[in-house]
Copies of this chain bind each other. A is one copy, B any other.
Amino acid sequence: MLDNKEITIYDIASKLNISTATVSRALKDDPVVSKKTKKKVFDLAEQMGYRSNHFARNLRSQRTETIGVIVPRLNSYFMSTVIAGIESVANQAGYNLIISQSSESTDNEKMNAKTMFNNRVDGLLVSLAYDTDDLSHFDIFHKKNIPLIFFDRVSEHVHSSNILIDNRKAAYGVTSHLISQGCRKIAHITATSDSNVYVDRLAGYTHALADHSIAADKEYIIYSDLSQEAGAAAAQHILQMKHRPDAIFVANDNCAVGCMLALKQAGIRIPGDIAFAGFNNDPVSTVVEPNLTTINYPGYEMGETAARHLINHLNGNASMHIANTILLRSELIVRASSEKRR
């Protein structure tokens, strides 16, 4: 038995012989309505299976209670963790999430942004695609005063906040750690991307070398797409180098693992011949043998922070302009892959 007829406040009002205005007020617990009336309204609404119509409400109130999320990929450990964090905060605060992925394509990102805009999200959380440099597709949000927060893959945009970790510092720490283990010929595998994430990690690596008076060698900077397969390919390249590195710092764990496995297969001992460090603290880092030294990247917390920051702003509880950039703490986790001395 289907009852497709939706109950509206008119139905409740007419049954109770009161006005829709009173019903509307009662339903939102307006203190101006008498307790008696409220109870009658609540009970009847419950009994008739009333549900409020968000669209009518949004149409009136010009708010949607919806947050848009655009990420490069949904199916990575890191990103799904971030999204779990966002969801938990948003859900608690009564906000809905609409989520889309750019698949690392700036064109998709533009379309996604437009969709979000047309859906009139109250605010937007974005992690940029690999090679997005022009941010003009986000201008419309600023024009309509819709708050925009970038996380992880961020970009300097005058009117938006950024939430990220200090990639430079983290990479500096990793590299220094490798140096402290006696390594001098340290390679770095990074992405062919201008994203802050990889640029900053490279900068941290470079600075650490310089601070320890180790000459930088261009040959030791290897560009890839950071996939596990790319790690294996990088391994082949490394095997053929004249001056093999004695340590490799990879910009993410997945790629590090691919590289490690391939080198091991070729008879290289880790960390004996080559020490290893990754980035992210992905689950694979505790599965690969030896376990991978890495940076713990607090994805869940980043999601929570981004969502909370945005919602606070929407509620007028905090000004987004004050905290233009929020840096989350990250930490070095030393595991066997880099312990040459113990």
Which positions in A face B, CB cutoff 8 Å?
1-4, 49, 51-56, 58-59, 64, 66, 73-77, 79-81, 83-84, 87-88, 91, 96-101, 103, 112, 115, 117-120, 140, 143-145, 228, 254, 257, 261, 283-284, 286-289, 300
Q: Which of B76, B117, B119, B145 contacts A96 (CB 8 A)?
A: B119
Q: Which residue of B lies closest to A83 (CB)?
A: B74
- Inter-chain contact A80/B87, CB cutoff 8 Å: no
What 10 pairs across the A-B complex have the smallest Cβ distances? Answer: A80-B80, A55-B58, A75-B84, A55-B59, A74-B84, A75-B80, A55-B55, A75-B81, A96-B98, A284-B287
- Inter-chain contact A80/B76, CB cutoff 8 Å: yes
Q: Which residue of B lies closest to A112 (CB)?
A: B91
How many whole Å from A166's CB to the nearest CB in chain B? 24
Q: Which of B97, B112, B283 contacts A99 (CB 8 A)?
A: B97
Q: Which residue of B lies closest to A76 (CB)?
A: B80
Which chain B positions have C-beta within 8 A of A1?
143
Q: Which residue of B lies closest to A228 (CB)?
A: B283
Which chain B positions have C-beta within 8 A of A54?
55, 118-120
Instruction: Please report the C-alpha to C-alpha distance between residue A81 and residue B97 in the assembled complex, in whole angstroms.
Output: 18
Assess A97 versus B96: contact at CB under 8 Å? Given A4-B144, A117-B51, A287-B288: no
- Inter-chain contact B80/A74, CB cutoff 8 Å: yes
Instruction: Please report the C-alpha to C-alpha distance between residue A54 and residue B58 in the assembled complex, in whole angstroms.
Output: 10
Instruction: Please report the C-alpha to C-alpha distance between residue A84 and residue B141 in the assembled complex, in whole angstroms.
Output: 25
Q: Which residue of B lies closest to A52 (CB)?
A: B118
Instruction: Please report the C-alpha to C-alpha distance between residue A40 and residue B339 in the assembled complex, in whole angstroms.
Output: 70
Assess A75 versus B83: contact at CB under 8 Å? Given A55-B59, A59-B56, A287-B287: yes
